[in-house]
């Protein structure tokens, strides 16, 4: 029988000529992007989208394609010039990394190769495992189990799941089968609760809600004036909760809190958890990387005692989004929490699925992309020592910033800045608090809107703060000066406008 005549299509170019044209377009894409990256300093840190762009980005469904070249030109015109600014040397908002040129190219290679990273008998799986082993060794958890995930939120949420599994198994509860529902009126099913300082990042609330524990299950421990967890309060809260029939299962310590860069006393939390038989999780979204620096390690000492650790590589690790990692000290517990065998995924001793699906067994995702490549390639190319130097460079820049603020009578540092975050404001003597809040809000918006730089904000002790978080490998000391000078100049302008 001869094959029926079908007009068979593919997304590949279909002839040598089409391949040549696509190759030329691809080279242009690479060149355009590298030109963009090489010229960032000449660009504003951010620009508002004009109405034409907003209009261009609301289109009818494209039933018929316009071709790669025309679609790409649309990207160049309407998308490329209008990101949120995190590529820029003066982006200090929230905690967002810049990405790197090599990381960008690695993402292209990862998409090109397009491996399915549940596991399988393939070199890309060995690359992810190698990377995890390196990270585990670097962060005091040699032999630990890990998996790459989208972000710190996912990393810490997965770790909290392991903590819950460990505690419930100890109590003889099958949490995987029964969940946290009180099916049986079994008193062991008392509400599970976990602890973190009031400065813990918002992932903990989302995790508590998502895991069916409820937001009330996340107990916020007050902080001291240095924004670190008050250990006496922690002990009192755990005792009171136990007396009330609740079941504490985990304490979250943060290495590098998002507001101020303070770190909890992780060694003290580790001791407390060991005595009280609680799981010790460290959220080191950005701060975990401070552990790699001999100079900074004392701030996050105790991190190496964690039962689990969540951290990002797309913040201080500088890699393109998304890239984060969860590490769990006990590989058996990690797997027992998440592995879910299925007939269509059964491992064999030979062939493509030999070795099973180790990464799918360490989290929720089944299909996963090759995020590991950009991290593996970058660490090999640049070495860990360079990453450490860049982390230290950002801290030194923040120290300089804090010093300039403290030396100027019209500027105020609103919290200690021990790591890479400084919360500051324009605050000439004699101006009332509400006015300072309004002035600094306006100053911040003008700095962003004029494209000078992108700091963000927070509220500390009821006071509006301009917040400078530095995970920027492109920033120089002169960029810090530009921001400080802009705050002073705009502060004077705005204050006099408000007073006139
Ligand atoms: C950014 C951050 C998170 C969340 O990480 P994502 O990668 O944004 O999900 C958690 N904790 C801290 C301390 C953070 O700074």
Claim to verify: residue 235 and residue 338 sit in the same structural domain: yes
Pocket lining: 95 vs ligand 1, CB cutoff 6 Å: yes
Prior bond of 215 cis (ω within 30°): no
Q: How far apart are CA 442 and CA 490, in angstroms?
A: 9
**At 391, which CATH number?**
3.90.1150.170
**Is residue 44 situated within a structural domain?**
no
**Is residue 52 situated within a structural domain?**
no
E strands present in 293-417: 308-312, 324-328, 411-413
Claim to verify: residue 213 and residue 358 sit in the same structural domain: yes
Claim to verify: residue 318 and residue 396 sit in the same structural domain: no
Q: How far apart are CA 203 and CA 160, in angstroms?
A: 11
Claim to verify: residue 343 and residue 428 sit in the same structural domain: no
Instruction: Report the separation in Å between the CA atom of 402 and the middle of ligand 1, taken as the mean of its atom positions.
Output: 23
Claim to verify: residue 359 and residue 444 sit in the same structural domain: no
Domain assignment of residue 341, given as a range: 115-382
Which one of 312, 313, 317, 323 would you pick to mutate in the ligand 1 pocket, going by the greatest count of ligand atoms within 8 A of its CB?
312
* Closest to 293 (Cα-Cα) out of 139, 136, 480: 139
**Is residue 85 situated within a structural domain?**
no
Claim to verify: residue 393 and residue 360 sit in the same structural domain: no
Instruction: Report the separation in Å between the CA atom of 95 and the middle of ligand 1, taken as the mean of its atom positions.
Output: 8
**Is residue 22 situated within a structural domain?**
no
Residues of the chain under the 70 pLDDT cut: 1, 3
Atom of ligand 1 nearest to the CA of 152: 5
Pocket lining: 398 vs ligand 1, CB cutoff 6 Å: no
pLDDT on residue 186: 76
pLDDT on residue 1: 63
Pocket lining: 264 vs ligand 1, CB cutoff 6 Å: no
| Burial class for 65, CB neighbours closer than 10 Å (0-12, 13-18, 19+) | exposed
Claim to verify: residue 365 and residue 420 sit in the same structural domain: no
Residue 473 main-chain phi, psi, to 5 deg: -75, -5
Pocket lining: 321 vs ligand 1, CB cutoff 6 Å: no
**Mind listing the pLDDT tens digit for each residue in 39-62?**
999 999 999 999 999 999 999 999
Instruction: Report the separation in Å between the CA atom of 20 and the middle of ligand 1, taken as the mean of its atom positions.
Output: 43
**Residue having the nearest C-alpha atom to atom 5 of ligand 1:** 152
Q: Which two tokens stand for residue 331?
A: 């590989």
Q: Mark which of 363, 382, 401 sits at the end of a domain.
A: 382
Claim to verify: residue 315 and residue 350 sit in the same structural domain: yes
Is the separation of the CB atoms in 307 and 279 below 8 Å?
A: yes
Give the total number of structural domains in the chain.
Answer: 2
Atom of ligand 1 nearest to the CA of 200: 13
**Helix 372-382 and helix 101-113: axis angle, to 10°?**
140
**Residue having the nearest C-alpha atom to atom 14 of ligand 1:** 285
**Is residue 195 situated within a structural domain?**
yes
**Mind listing the pLDDT tens digit for each residue in 460-499?**
999 999 999 999 999 999 999 999 999 999 999 999 999 8
Pocket lining: 93 vs ligand 1, CB cutoff 6 Å: no
**At 235, which CATH number?**
3.40.640.10
E strands present in 213-368: 218-221, 247-254, 279-283, 308-312, 324-328
Pocket lining: 283 vs ligand 1, CB cutoff 6 Å: yes
Which one of 93, 152, 456 would you pick to mutate in the ligand 1 pocket, going by the greatest count of ligand atoms within 8 A of its CB?
152
**Is residue 333 situated within a structural domain?**
yes
Q: Is the dihedral of CA 257, 263, 267, 269 positive or negative?
A: negative
End-to-end CA separation in angstroms for the chain:
91
Q: How far apart are CA 128 and CA 144, in angstroms?
A: 14
Which one of 159, 258, 314, 317 would you pick to mutate in the ligand 1 pocket, going by the greatest count of ligand atoms within 8 A of its CB?
258
Q: Mark which of 339, 363, 382 sits at the end of a domain.
A: 382
Write down the pTM of the prediction.
0.96
Q: How far apart are CA 283 and CA 387, in angstroms?
A: 20
Pocket lining: 153 vs ligand 1, CB cutoff 6 Å: yes
Q: Mark which of 364, 382, 400 sits at the end of a domain.
A: 382
Q: How far apart are CA 155 and CA 222, in angstroms?
A: 24
E strands present in 313-350: 324-328
Claim to verify: residue 248 and residue 394 sit in the same structural domain: no
Q: Are strands 454-460 and 91-92 parallel, antiparallel or unpaired?
A: parallel
**Residue having the nearest C-alpha atom to atom 3 of ligand 1:** 152
Can you tell me which residue has the tokens 């040699």?
142
Claim to verify: residue 372 and residue 448 sit in the same structural domain: no
* Closest to 44 (Cα-Cα) out of 83, 7, 11: 83
Instruction: Report the separation in Å between the CA atom of 309 and the middle of ligand 1, taken as the mean of its atom positions.
Output: 12
């Amino acid at each position: 029988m001869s094959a029926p005549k079908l007009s068979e299509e593919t997304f590949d170019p279909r002839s040598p000529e089409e391949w040549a044209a696509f190759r030329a377009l691809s080279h242009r894409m690479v060149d355009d992007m590298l030109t963009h990256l090489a010229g960032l300093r000449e660009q504003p840190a951010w620009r508002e989208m004009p109405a034409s762009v907003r209009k261009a980005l609301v289109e009818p469904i494209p039933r018929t394609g316009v071709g790669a070249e025309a679609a790409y030109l649309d990207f160049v015109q309407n998308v490329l010039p209008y990101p949120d600014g995190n590529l820029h040397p003066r982006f200090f908002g929230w905690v967002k990394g810049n990405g790197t040129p090599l990381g960008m190219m690695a993402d292209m290679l990862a998409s090109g190769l397009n491996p399915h990273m549940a596991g399988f008998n393939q070199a890309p799986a060995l690359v992810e495992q190698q990377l995890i082993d390196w990270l585990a060794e670097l962060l005091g958890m040699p032999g630990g189990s890990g998996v790459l995930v989208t972000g710190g939120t996912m990393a810490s949420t997965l770790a909290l799941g392991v903590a819950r599994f460990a505690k419930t198994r100890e109590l003889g509860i099958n949490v995987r089968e029964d969940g946290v529902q009180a099916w049986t009126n079994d008193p062991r099913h008392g509400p599970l609760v976990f602890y973190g300082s009031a400065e813990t990042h918002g992932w903990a609330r989302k995790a508590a809600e998502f895991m069916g524990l409820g937001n009330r299950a996340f107990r916020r421990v007050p902080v001291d004036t240095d924004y670190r967890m008050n250990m006496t309060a922690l002990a009192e809260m755990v005792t009171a909760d136990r007396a009330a029939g609740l079941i504490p299962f985990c304490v979250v310590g943060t290495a590098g809190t998002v507001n101020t860069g303070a770190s909890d006393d992780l060694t003290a939390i580790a001791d407390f958890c060991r005595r009280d038989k609680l799981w010790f999780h460290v959220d080191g979204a950005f701060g975990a990387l401070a552990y790699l620096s001999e100079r900074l390690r004392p701030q996050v000492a105790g991190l190496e005692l964690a039962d689990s650790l969540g951290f990002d590589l797309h913040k201080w690790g500088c890699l393109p989004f998304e890239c984060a990692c969860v590490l769990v000290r006990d590989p058996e517990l990690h797997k027992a929490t998440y592995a879910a065998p299925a007939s269509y995924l059964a491992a064999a001793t030979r062939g493509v699925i030999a070795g099973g699906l180790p990464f799918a067994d360490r989290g929720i995702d089944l299909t996963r992309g090759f995020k590991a490549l950009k991290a593996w390639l970058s660490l090999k190319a640049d070495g860990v020592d360079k990453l450490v130097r860049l982390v230290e460079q950002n801290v030194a820049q923040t120290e300089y910033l804090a010093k300039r603020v403290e030396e100027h009578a019209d500027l105020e540092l609103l919290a200690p800045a021990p790591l890479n975050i400084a919360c500051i404001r324009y605050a000439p003597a004699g101006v009332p608090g509400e006015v300072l809040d309004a002035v600094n809000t306006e100053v911040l918006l003008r700095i962003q809107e004029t494209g000078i730089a992108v700091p963000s904000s927070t509220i500390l002790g009821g006071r509006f703060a301009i917040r400078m978080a530095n995970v920027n490998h492109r920033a120089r000391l002169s960029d810090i000066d530009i921001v400080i000078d802009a705050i002073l100049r705009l502060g004077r302008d705005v204050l006099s406008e408000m007073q006139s």
